[in-house]
Each structure stands twice: as structure tokens, then as C-alpha cells.
Structure 1
Amino acid sequence: MSTAPRLPYGTWPSPITAEAVADASGSTSWPSGAGEENWWCASDPATATVRLLRNAPGHEDPVPVLAPGISVRNRSLGYGGKPYWVSAAPSPTDNHHVLVFTDHSDQRLYRAEVPRLGSAADSFPVPVPLTPADPPGRETCWADPVTGPDGTEVWCVRETTRAATGPHDADPAVRTVREIVAVPLSGAAADDPGALRVVARSHHFLCGHRLSPDGRRLAWIGWDHPHMPWDSSELMVADLHDGVAGEPVRLLGGSHGDTEVSVSQAAWADPDTLYAMADPNGWWNLHRIDLASDRLTPRAITNVLPLQEDCAGPVWRVGASWFAATPHGVVLPQGNGRQKLSRWSPQDGELTELADGWTHFQGDLWSDGDRILVRAADPAQGSALLSIPLAPGSGPARRTRPKSVDPLAPWQPQPERRTVYDAQGRPVHFVLHRPTHPTTTAPEGELPPLLVQVHGGPTSSTGVTADLEYSFFTSRGFTVADVDYGGSTGYGRAYRDRLRGQWGTVDVDDCVTVARALAAEGLADPARTAVRGGSAGGWTTLACLVHTDVFCAGTVLYPISDPARWRADQTHDFESRYVDTLIGELPQDQAHFDKISPAANADRITVPLVMLQGADDFICRPDQATCIVDNLAERGVWHRFLLFEGEGHGFRQANSVRRALLAEVALYRETFGSHIASDVPLDADAL
């Protein structure tokens, strides 16, 4: 009788290579439909571009819509908004869909006539520009195109930033303007900016613009500095006159006295009825707004589905969508952490689950009224793009592509949602990825090394599917704990607000709480516990190393390290006032900034560290990383610093992902011993 070999944790041989992780590091987003066809964006690590793909029943293999080299992406809000709109061919005799998209190379809008999938045409369409090229000194991007009232235009959020004229004019908030703009589909504006029409203005930030079904009204969401949209944002509506919005009226949300309300999304059910996700009760719940037919004054605003559960998420991207108002009811996710996708009936208030067995749904849901397209995930089923018919008796949710056999599946753990409690009895949520291997176990009594993962944002949350990057480590005998620290979304406003004014304290305490709980449970070695994270997660990683002695190493990606400089003109417009709520205001709170700043307290970092940074990052600039690295170098603390040319905030190139992972292996060999991940070959460019 054979027995599984016993090898120390951290040394198990694994077929999950750094190259495999890099090749799989792309992501999918923005599903949409054109008749029976399913469309979506997919990032391609091999080319560092975003391809627009499609498939259909009977044509399940994805097919690129546009020629290689075209990257369907924009820079709206710094993180990109919905970059395309497609209108299905109107009849069997008209063989072409109309596509409008943004090309990342110049940020212009383009139109393309795309043959139906499976038609005789086999060449890529030739895009035609719809918007003018930017003159020197100006950058314009277009996000979330939707059809105008008569079908001859698309309406977008236009974001225009003029170049700084000098240090006195460096603040991007001062130089950035956002408007809802009509763009003719004829292409008339490509050479004549006068053919563009401003439809609406209100706040510094705009998103979620939607036309009423009769074309008489426009609704949108807006907010102003220093608020972030998950703190305070307003649902606006205006009558349209000759394609221009009249005086807008606030329907819901905003700051009033000590009360703040966030509106994540709105959608029309009929010309006089809007649904909106808002959190006046502390949870993003579904509200119905009944308008008078002859004026914009609300007749009633009702929380039609009061739940102590979030049914939406934070607005990080223009075009985000968590629910759809359809003739068959309102489709929405519900749940804290673990979710269900449900259809709510306005007639009887009943909830019907639509995607049994799936437990997480992304915030870019699409519907044409007859079906739903949504990216779904579950620990047991992985992730998939689901197509869900809505008519009664029309069948269950189905994958748009058949599930393929993953040869690496036996080496990937099933993530587990868990909760522990801090010293004050408050919950801390996290996802646990256990050491997993089909043929190898550890010696009796040994504890695995632990990697505490800190997500970015910080207003964000962690996923629940197997992650090949995590599996790279868990398949070699590591435990990974992905922490939804206080400030994370998906658990209501009170949990989200725990981080306000406490960034660098609550997030650090929650990571420590998870690490100590796993050690106490015998699931992790407290002497071999490291912390890792990027962006805001990089901040928390550095703060953990500065303010605690729990972690013996840190992997830091494109971090915030000096909050006093990560504001105003030192980052992009969207987050340029974020620290006002996360930490405080300057100059009156300078002492607090100095106390928690990793850069101001870098001398306290005494453990090995790897710093990974994109050279072109305009959100967290390289000097946020180099000030830490320079301090470590002066004091002789072991560290590695990799600056990736051509990378921004997050790594898109496969080779960057591979090199970053190998540098992390080098860190753990330095910290835990040279035997760690000994089956992983390191090369000079990763060190």
C-alpha cells in the first residue's frame, strides 16, 4: 500500500509555474449582447492589450471582433469605464451589428460595422473615428456609450484633462471636466468638434447616465470632492429639450447634516419609474422612485426590498452595473460575502434565485430585457460568463462556454469564506486558501507558512474562486488568507466606515487578527508569516511591517507609502482627495499623518521586503516606492526592487507578472530558507 510522501510545507513540487500564472493573469469584463451573441472584453497578457471577443450558441469558441493590436480600453477615472456599445443587426436582411468603442492608443471613439458571427465575411471591420483627435495639451477619454433617443447618436461621459502649465497648476482636479456628451454616429464630429453636443453637466464626477424609455428624461449619478462615490453621491434627473438636459433635480443620495447616502446605480422601469441602489439604511438596497408624469418631483421613494445585505458595490468605473430592471422583474445580487442572483417581482415581492450554485457576481451585469449576461464565480465551479433567460419556463442559467478540464485543478484549493473576531468583538472577514496537493502532505505536527493577502482599494473586496497566483503558493505548501479588512465592501456601510479616519490602523489590526487566529487554530506558522498587497494593499503591507512585529517579510506592489504626498497633484483626480476621509485633512492633521505614514517611519522596517513598481504608474507614482527602497538600502536591510518599464498601476505584461512572482520566491527563500519552492528556477532578471 503506497502512502503520500511527506515533505515540509513550502517545498512541495508543483506543476503550477510562474509562466503558467503569467499566461493566465488576464481578466474578463464588460459582458454585453448582440442578439444571441455574447460579447466581452478580455485582457491579453501576451500583448498587454484588451481584446473584444464574442461567441454564440453553436459558435462557443471565442472570436476576436477587431484586428490584433487594437486595445478596447479607456482611462476614465484612472481605472477605465465601459469601453464599448453594440447594437444588434436590426433584421435578418441587415447582416451587420453597429459597434462603438474606445481605442486605448488615442482614447478616441470609433465606429465599426461588424458582420454577424458565422456569416460569410471573414475579415476584420475597418473602424471609423467618431470623435476628434486631441489637440496638444489636452487628454480626452470617453466612457459608457449608450444609444441616444433617436438612434443617431451615442451618449457618453466625456472626461477632459488639460495639461498643467506649471507647478502652480498641477492639481488634476482643477484641470479636469466631466460632461455627458452626444456623439453623432455619422462621424461628423471626427473632424468638427462643433458637431458634439453637451447634454448635461452637474457634478465634478458623473456616471450611470440612462435615458427614460420614452426619451423624455435623463438620469445620472454625480458627486464632488472630497467625497468618494461610496460615501456620498446623488441621483439626478432632468427633462430633455432638443437633446439637452434642463435643470436637474436631486432625487436621492448626498450629504445632509450628519447623514451621507451613496447611490451606486439607477435604471428606468418605465417613463415615470426609476429603480436605484442606495444605502440610507446602511445597505445598498433596491429603491423605487415614482415620478409625476408632468414634473420631476418624486411622488414616492420606497425601499422595496429592505435587506440587511448589500445588493450593489462601490463605483470605481463608469458604467458599473449590479442590477437590471426588466419586463420580468428586477434582477440583482444579494448577500453578505456569499451572494445569490435573484429576480424580484414588483407584483408580489417574491425573490426567485436565477443561478443556483453560484455565489459571487461581478458589477458589470448586462440585460436586453429577455436575458442576463453576468460574470459569476463559485469555489466549486470556478468562474464563468453566464447567460440567463428571464421568460418563465425558458430554462436555467448556462455557461456561454462549456467548462473545460483544468489539468492543474488537483493542485488548487477550494476557497473558504470565514470570519474571526478582533479584541473588541468585531467581525473580520477573509477567504482562506489551504495548502493543497494531490500526492504530498507535510510531516505530522508541522505548520505551514502563511501569506496574508491585502486587497487594494481599500474600498473593495476579495473574490472566492481559486486564484492561480495563490495556487502557485498553496500547491507548494503555503496557506493564503485574503482579508476583507474593515473598510471592505459587501458587508454594509458600518463595516465600510470602520476605515474612515483609521487607515493604517484598522486594516493593520484586522490583518494581524486573521494571522493570529490562524496560528491559534493550528493552520499557520506564526514564525513564518508574511504579508503582501498592491496599491492600497501595498500601503497596508508597509504599515504592517512598520507598526507590528507579526510579519517576517513583505511583498509590496505599486504602493502608497507617503499619504501626505499621495493627494492633490501627486495622484489622479479621482482619488486626489481620498485621504481626507481615510486619514484626515492637512495641515491640521499633520501629526496623525506622520504617526501612521510608512514613509515617515520606514526606519522601523527591519524584515526583508520585495518592492515591485510600474514605471508609468500615475496613480501611485514610483517615488512612493523608491522612498522606502532608498531607506532600506541605506540601512542594509535585505530587499529587492523591480521597476517595470511600460507598466502602470497593475501589471499587464506576462513577463512582468512572471518576474514579480519569481522575486517573491526569492524573498521567501531569504526569509524561510533556501529550500522554499526549490522546484522554481530563478533567473537574474527576477532578482
Structure 2
Amino acid sequence: MTKVEHSYGAWPSPITPEAAAAVPGAPQWPTVVGPETWWCAPDPATATVGLTRRGADGQTRPVLGPEWPVGNKAIGYGGRPYLATPDVVVFSCSRDQRLYAIGGGDGPLSAADLPGGEPKALTPADAEGTVTNYSDPILDPTGTEVWVIREATRLDAAGALTDPAPRTTRDIVAVPLSGAAAQDPGALRVVARSHQFLSTIRLSPDGTRLSWLGWDHPVMPWETTDLMVATIVDGVATAAGRVLGGDDVAVCQAEWADDHNLYALADPDGWWNLFRVDLAADKPTATCVLPTETECGHAIWRVGSTSFAVTEQGVVLRRSLGEEALILWDPETGTVSDLALEWNEFATSVAGSADGRTVAVVASSPTESSTPLRIDLGHRAAVRCVERPEYEHEAWVSVPQRRHAEVEGGWQVPYIYYPPTNPEYQGPAGELPPLLIDVHGGPTSSTVTSRSLGFALFTSRGYAVASVDYGGSTGYGRAYRDRLRHTWGVTEVDDSVAVARALAAAGLADPARTAIRGGSAGGWATLAALAHSDYFACGTVYYPISDPATWYDEQTHDFESRYIHYLVGDPVKDAERFARVSPLAHAEKITAPFLMLQGLDDVICRPDQARRMVEAVEAVRPGLCRGHLEFPGEGHGFRKDETMAVCLQAELDLYASVFGA
């Protein structure tokens, strides 16, 4: 079919904002339960997450009814919310953050238990003035308790806004499966406490030792963490000590290899690689068993996130330098073999089966959305747990490409390029497409080459999109992450401009019609780019930080309340640097129109960050903010499909008005 010439950015497209907004979020937290595979499935229509299972018959069914949404608010971004065995299911209900169980009696679960059985409360309702959540559950050595990380926060007094750190505690607690603690909080037992933050609790195979990760303010877990090990005596962890980490070494996961050895991902050499920790000697020793200049680990943004699993055939782990692979490392021979070759992105939720023969992962690729996989290690066979859907408008979906742009200092900035794609239209000869620079949040995170209907909303209309892994992103080693240390508001702006210039130089983008967009730290980067550079014609800002001088301690949640020390510096000693990079402090320099989108329930980037920015710009240039939309019931990261549809339509309107599409 001959394509019709039409201006870039104005191509008719069947992909609507409503269709893009209705795409479910990525599956989360896969688990192998005997012949079944379980995972958490987000539902954009209800803004909730349900627990789902695929049986041995290949049929997919809900584990719980719709009245039992699964999830928790651990460290603000959530943690592993459930434990599933053939005998018991324990889960955190997002409705009230309590733990519930099905089963846990004398026999295995029956089909009648799920989803028809009424879950039994395991933990008490919150006392007045306290908010509690539970994450990362494991079974205790006796099988009569579940051990979890409990996070408890005392609420502010009425009308007050105080630092959350002194009001928040985290402990590893034992919860009776009998349900005794539901009415009697005294039935809960503290197993261990050590740090301000905890993650990844694991029992040794013989049940005599407990390991966990911990870190304290002001560091973030990708700076320094401690791998702790303690001996279990009468159900309590004793003689706890650090066996790896500390001194600017970050351990992001540890799993027991046997009763006396742990595998751990740590970065003393600048890369998250696999170590073996020997506890048999008088003094623990750690040896890197798979040294590579690639990243096998992850930044801990969610409690209990995992990048590897120990199996009977070796260690299955993610490995990346941008693009990812899933590999199996054999400790006997040292050989490495690839798994799931047709996939190249793997979420931080690698889970092994109890018998060590199977793993479950969430995977995606340039032509596939995220989906749970079950991998039989004996046959090296990866089975989709959900059949590939019939994508209605597949020919309109852009296939992403990995590229790099060179910046000062010889650094190569990775980015993912989505070319304009439409089977019916092409741009006129001599015209270049408008470009959207997409800046991921975090900022200690990364972008992925997954099939994206959200980006296709734009590329099918003739826009090019480039998603940038600016300095500070994960997947490229500690040195690349540390490019952002004390340079927030500078490095990500320079890297984003460099990518835009590289695409313009390659004849793939119109430098005069380039926009920037992002949420959270990406929203900050968008504002910083509009304030500190003149490259971008407009921007879209989702739930941003606008002023670092008021984004710490009581102004945000506990997890990130000291993050600013890494990103910018000490708020008092480095006040000049704070003022220099703050978009709010330079609102008068913003001359490009922008859109501001904010959830009213956001406690991470509070609505006043967006409001003050809009007010400051409007005081100087009325009408420059083309829309300041606030959404009740939305927090940090929008969940409702109707919210996202409104936002995406507003974006299309902004770009059309600025670029003349």
C-alpha cells in the first residue's frame, strides 16, 4: 500500500488516549507454587492489583475475589505482598494493609479454598494514630508462623507536618497463622530489628539462621547496605552481625545456597555481581564467583525485589549493560547459559520453585509487553503464563532501538529510540519529525525496550520518542550511577539535550520541534531542562519535585527523606548549589509552555511542589502553563485509566498547539 504524505505529528491514528490508558501495568511478583504459577496483576479500570494463578491445565484464574486487592505501602513504593505454598496463602490487603491468610490448617489447600474461601485476618487493625504495613513474608521453621517486615508510622498531630523518620520503625515480626494476633497485638513477636530500613528476609534451609538487608539514613540502598545474619534461638534472631556490605558497598539481594553459605549481589568492584559468602569459618568470607563488567543486580525501590534465584542447576540471574539477559550460572563448572532468548527485559522479581527445578520471571521485549513466564530448567523451556493477545493495531506500534550519545568526559549516554510508525502515512520529503524526550523517574532507575502503546500513541501520529538513561541510571555500574551525585538538575538535563542533538544531527528529529516529558524525578528533570536550557519548545510535567530546598525531611516520605543529600548535597552547607539548580528559584527563565499534572494524594512529591511552580511561572508569564490538572484519589504514579486518558489527551493537545500539528 502506498503511504500518504502528511505532516509529522498530524498523522491520523487509531490508537486513542483511552486505549493507551487502558493497557494494564506490568505483572508483578511471580511465584512458583507446585505446578502452578502465581503473580500480581494490575487492573487499570479499578486501580487495584489482584492475585492471579495459572494452573497446570493452562487456565488462568483469580486467586482471590475482587474484594481482596493485594498490595502494601512499604517504603512508599510497596514490597512483596504475598506468600504462597501448597498449604497456605498469606497476603497483604491494599484496602487496609493488614495480613490475611487462606489455609494454614492441617492439610493442603483445596480448589474450594480459592477464591471462594473467606480470608482470615492475621494482624490487628491499626490503633488510632498509627499506620502499619507488612511485606516480604516467609514461613518460619515450624510452619506455624509467617515472618514479615512490619513498618509502623505514627501519624502527625492534627495540622502538623513533621519529619517521618523519627515516627517510623521497621522490625521483622512473627505472625501466628492461627490468627491469634488479629485481636491480640501482644501475640506478635519481634524476631529482629537492626536498621531504619529492612528488606529480603530469608531463612537458611535448616531454619537455624536468618539473613536480611538493612540500611540507615542518610544513605540510599544503592549507596550502602548491610547483609545481616543472625542465629535463631527460640524464635528470635540473636548475635546478628554484618557479613557483607558497608563502606560504600551495596548488597541488593542475598539467598541461601545451603546451611552455611549465601549467594549475594554486591558491588565492591563497581558492578552488582554475584558473591558467595562462606559462614562456616570463624570469620565470614565473601568471594566474587561471577565477575563481569555488567550489572546483575538492581536498586532496591521495593522491599523484597529479586534479581536471582538459587536452583538445583545453579543460579538464575538477570545480567545487563542496558539490554538484559536471563542466564543460568553453574557453580560446579563455572559455565553460563542463556535462558528465554526471545526476551531481553526482565523485571526485578526472579523467583525459584521449592524443588529448585523451575523459575518464574516477568519478561518483555521490543515487540512484547511484560508477561509472566515459567521456565523449566531441565528442558530450558519458557512458557508464557498468559497467551499473547491479539494486538488490534500492531502495525502502528513503534519497535524501539537502543542507541548511545556521547557527552563530555567520554561517557556514552544510552537511550531508546522509538521511530515514527504508521502503515498509512509518511512525512513529506525534507521534513523532520518532532521529538519527545522522555525522562524516567527514580532517578536511580532505567528505561526498557518493551512494547509500549503509550509511546505508540505519539509515534503513530508521526512523533519520534527517545527515552533516556541519563547519568544516575541503573544498569551501567556504580560509576555511571554516581555521575548524578551532587549534580541533580545538571547531568540529566545535559544528557537529555545531548540525545536530542544526536538525533537531530542524524536527521531523525526536528531540533525546532522538540519537547521533554517525565514524572517524579523525570518531572524535576523536565522543569530543570525548561529552566536551565533553551533547547525544548515545550514540556509535560507529571507529579514533580520543583524545589530541592523543600523536598526532604517532613516534606516527603521516610524512604527518600534524606535522598537529597546524595542528589544535591547538604541543605545548609550547600544552599548555593540548591538555589542554582532549583527550577522554582529560576521560574522566570522558563519561556516554553508546559503542562502540569498532579495527584492530590501524593505524599512523595506533594501537590505544593507543582502548585508553587505553576504560581511562580504564571506570575511572570501568564498563560505559559497550558494546563494544571489535579486529580483527587491519585498518588505518586497515576493508577486510574480515566486519569491517564485525560493526561495523554492533554499532552497531544499541547504538542499540536506548539508544533502546529
Q: Shorter-chain TM-score: which interval? A: over 0.9
Structure 1 residue corresponding to 2:249, chosen from 242, 261, 264 = 261
Gap change, CA 1:395 and 1:493, over 3 Å in 2: closer
Structure 2 distance, partners of 1:165, 1:45, is 34
Say which SS state the counterpart of residue 9 (structure 1) adopts: coil
* Letter of the structure 2 residue corresponding to residue 24 of structure 1: V
Q: Equivalences for 1:278-297 in 2 at 5 Å?
A: 278-292=266-280, 297=283
1:586 Cα deviation (Å)? 1.9
1:642 Cα deviation (Å)? 0.4
Q: Equivalences for 1:155-170 in 2 at 5 Å?
A: 155-165=147-157, 170=162
* Letter of the structure 2 residue corresponding to residue 253 of structure 1: G
Structure 1 residue corresponding to 2:400, chosen from 415, 427, 430 = 415
Structure 1 residue corresponding to 2:96, chosen from 106, 116, 132 = 106
Structure 2 distance, partners of 1:187, 1:121, is 17
1:629 Cα deviation (Å)? 1.1
Maintained 8 Å contact 2:64/2:114: no
Q: Equivalences for 1:646-661 in 2 at 5 Å?
A: 646-661=633-648
Structure 2 distance, partners of 1:395, 1:364, is 19
Structure 1 distance, partners of 2:114, 2:277, is 47
Gap change, CA 1:72 and 1:460, over 3 Å in 2: same
Between 1:328-337 and 1:576-585, the stretch displaced more is: 328-337
Gap change, CA 1:474 and 1:214, over 3 Å in 2: same
Matched, 1:425 2:375: no
Equivalence for 2:554: 569
Between 1:332-341 and 1:633-642, the stretch displaced more is: 633-642
Equivalences, count: 655
Matched, 1:33 2:32: yes
1:194 Cα deviation (Å)? 1.0
Say which SS state the counterpart of residue 341 (structure 1) adopts: strand
Gap change, CA 1:292 and 1:191, over 3 Å in 2: same
Q: Equivalences for 1:186-225 in 2 at 5 Å?
A: 186-225=178-217
Gap change, CA 1:352 and 1:122, over 3 Å in 2: closer
Unaligned runs of 5+ in 2: none
Say which SS state the counterpart of residue 517 (structure 1) adopts: helix
* Letter of the structure 1 residue corresponding to residue 254 of structure 2: A
Gap change, CA 1:38 and 1:670, over 3 Å in 2: same
Equivalence for 1:378: 365
Structure 2 distance, partners of 1:81, 1:618, is 17
1:632 Cα deviation (Å)? 2.7
Say which SS state the counterpart of residue 446 (structure 2) adopts: coil
Structure 1 residue corresponding to 2:628, chosen from 626, 638, 641 = 641
Equivalence for 2:568: 583
Structure 2 residue corresponding to 1:78, chosen from 76, 79, 85 = 76
Equivalence for 1:229: 221
Q: Equivalences for 1:661-676 in 2 at 5 Å?
A: 661-673=648-660, 676=661
Maintained 8 Å contact 1:606/1:637: no
Maintained 8 Å contact 2:369/2:452: no
Say which SS state the counterpart of residue 247 (structure 1) adopts: strand
Equivalence for 2:66: 68
Structure 2 distance, partners of 1:541, 1:86, is 42
* Letter of the structure 1 residue corresponding to residue 649 of structure 2: L
1:424 Cα deviation (Å)? 3.0
1:112 Cα deviation (Å)? 1.6
Q: Deviations over 1:103-151 (max 9, x none)?
A: 1121100012399999467852211110011111000000011111111
Gap change, CA 1:668 and 1:65, over 3 Å in 2: same
Equivalence for 1:402: 387
Maintained 8 Å contact 2:368/2:451: no
Equivalence for 1:481: 466
Say which SS state the counterpart of residue 12 (structure 1) adopts: coil
* Letter of the structure 2 residue corresponding to residue 238 of structure 1: A
Matched, 1:354 2:339: yes
Maintained 8 Å contact 2:251/2:266: yes
1:57 Cα deviation (Å)? 3.5
* Letter of the structure 2 residue corresponding to residue 109 of structure 1: L
1:34 Cα deviation (Å)? 1.7
Maintained 8 Å contact 1:27/1:43: yes
Structure 1 distance, partners of 2:114, 2:77, is 33
Say which SS state the counterpart of residue 667 (structure 1) adopts: helix
Matched, 1:185 2:177: yes
Maintained 8 Å contact 1:232/1:263: yes
1:168 Cα deviation (Å)? 7.8
* Letter of the structure 2 residue corresponding to residue 16 of structure 1: I
Maintained 8 Å contact 2:400/2:417: yes
Maintained 8 Å contact 1:55/1:117: no
Equivalence for 2:420: 435
Q: Equivalences for 1:449-460 in 2 at 5 Å?
A: 449-460=434-445
Structure 2 distance, partners of 1:137, 1:382, is 42
1:463 Cα deviation (Å)? 1.0
Maintained 8 Å contact 1:607/1:637: no
Q: Equivalences for 1:5-24 in 2 at 5 Å?
A: 5-24=4-23
* Letter of the structure 1 residue corresponding to residue 94 of structure 2: H
Matched, 1:520 2:494: no
Maintained 8 Å contact 2:62/2:115: no
Equivalence for 1:685: none
1:169 Cα deviation (Å)? 7.2
Equivalence for 1:271: 259
* Letter of the structure 1 residue corresponding to residue 329 of structure 2: W
Unaligned runs of 5+ in 1: 90-97, 677-687
Structure 2 distance, partners of 1:69, 1:473, is 36
Maintained 8 Å contact 2:103/2:109: no
Gap change, CA 1:250 and 1:642, over 3 Å in 2: same
* Letter of the structure 2 residue corresponding to residue 434 of structure 1: P
Matched, 1:535 2:520: yes
Say which SS state the counterpart of residue 559 (structure 2) adopts: helix
Structure 2 distance, partners of 1:571, 1:374, is 32
Equivalence for 1:4: 3
1:292 Cα deviation (Å)? 1.5
Say which SS state the counterpart of residue 550 (structure 2) adopts: coil
Say which SS state the counterpart of residue 305 (structure 2) adopts: coil
Equivalence for 2:58: 59
Say which SS state the counterpart of residue 194 (structure 1) adopts: helix
* Letter of the structure 2 residue corresponding to residue 26 of structure 1: G
Say which SS state the counterpart of residue 318 (structure 2) adopts: strand
Equivalence for 1:630: 615
Say which SS state the counterpart of residue 323 (structure 2) adopts: coil
Maintained 8 Å contact 2:12/2:461: yes
Equivalence for 1:318: 303
Gap change, CA 1:325 and 1:179, over 3 Å in 2: same
1:327 Cα deviation (Å)? 1.6
1:557 Cα deviation (Å)? 0.3
Structure 2 distance, partners of 1:384, 1:661, is 24
Q: Deviations over 1:165-213 (max 9, x none)?
A: 4788710001000001111100010011111110111111111110000
* Letter of the structure 1 residue corresponding to residue 186 of structure 2: G
* Letter of the structure 1 residue corresponding to residue 258 of structure 2: D
Structure 2 residue corresponding to 1:556, chosen from 541, 546, 549 = 541
Name the TM-score, length of structure 2 as normaliser: 0.97
* Letter of the structure 2 residue corresponding to residue 83 of structure 1: P
Structure 2 distance, partners of 1:118, 1:407, is 38
Q: Deviations over 1:52-111 (max 9, x none)?
A: 111124233x3222121322010000001011111114xxxxxxxx11111112110001
Structure 1 distance, partners of 2:473, 2:504, is 23
Equivalence for 1:95: none
Say which SS state the counterpart of residue 538 (structure 1) adopts: helix
Between 1:51-60 and 1:361-370, the stretch displaced more is: 51-60
Gap change, CA 1:548 and 1:116, over 3 Å in 2: farther
